[in-house]
Amino acid sequence: MAGLVVRGIYSYSIWMAFGMSKITLLANPDEFCIHHISRYSPVVRDVKPNWHTQQFNGSFLHQNIYRQPASPEVDAAWAALGVNYRSVVVPENEAGQMGLRPDQVKVSQEYGGGFPANVEGLHHLHCLDLLRKTLHWNYDYYLAKKQGPFVNSEYIVRVHTTHCLDILRQTLMCNPDIGVFGQVWWQAGGESEPTPFVDFNSKHRCRDFEAIREWAEAHQLPPEATVNMSRFYEKPKPGDFISPEIP
């Protein structure tokens, strides 16, 4: 009888703990939403989503800095978004939750251990930045500079760009925005009748991008010039998977 009571108390305690965790998540819709729609990431643990409503700048004709032709000022604006950040390092004890295998690349214990990883959202912005740089009116400018992706042959620049194009395609198809655009009337000078035109300045529910960017900036691996790269990574162990080609 005592054993049944103990088991009953144990089961009740487990049920209560589980129930309270569910209640906590439901009482905090931000937390519930981010856990429901995201794979595990240290960003989820460390950064509050701070969902907020934001109106997009969807202007068709008025160009902001991100749309302008190639220049040092435009490059600086994109760089400020984190498109050139180094990989972050994530703790070894969290790797499995993120889908990382034990035989993937690790930082040596001499340099603190952990797994090098990249925040996918910043990689998407890197890809968008590369597409910008390979626009036909920008391409020659960056090809002449021979910096970043453009230190490589034109063939590698091409496959890098199409890799980025397809990553963005898959991302947009994975998370299709189901918002809708309305239309407005506009009338050009000299025209007798107004014409409908799509209003791209729509409102969206957005995460706190700046908080994510700051997290990624703070957790970057050290610059290669400050470490001994021959000892920075653990060497593969016998039996570890080594890919015969770039994945």
Question: CA neighbours within 13 Å on the CB side: how many for 186?
Answer: 7
Ranges of each domain in the chain: 1-37, 51-232
DSSP H helical segments within the chain, as ranges? 2-27, 29-37, 42-46, 72-79, 120-133, 136-145, 154-174, 209-218, 229-232
Q: What is the pLDDT of residues 138-149, one digit of tens each?
A: 999 999 999 999
Among 37-46, 110-119, 136-145, 230-239, which is the least confidently predicted range?
A: 37-46
Structure tokens at 233: 């990574």
What pTM, to 2 d.p., does this model score?
0.85
Distance (Å, whole) CA 106 – CA 88:
12
Neighbours of 126 (CB within 10 A): 21
> Would you state the pLDDT for residue 7?
57
Q: Could you read off the pLDDT of 102-121 as tens digits, one per residue?
A: 999 999 999 999 999 999 99
pLDDT in tens, 78-90: 999 999 999 999 9
Q: In the prediction, which pLDDT does 208 show?
A: 96
Q: What is the pLDDT of residues 7-23, one digit of tens each?
A: 555 555 555 555 555 55
Q: How far apart are CA 148 and CA 151, in angstroms?
A: 6
The amino acid that residue 53 corresponds to is: T
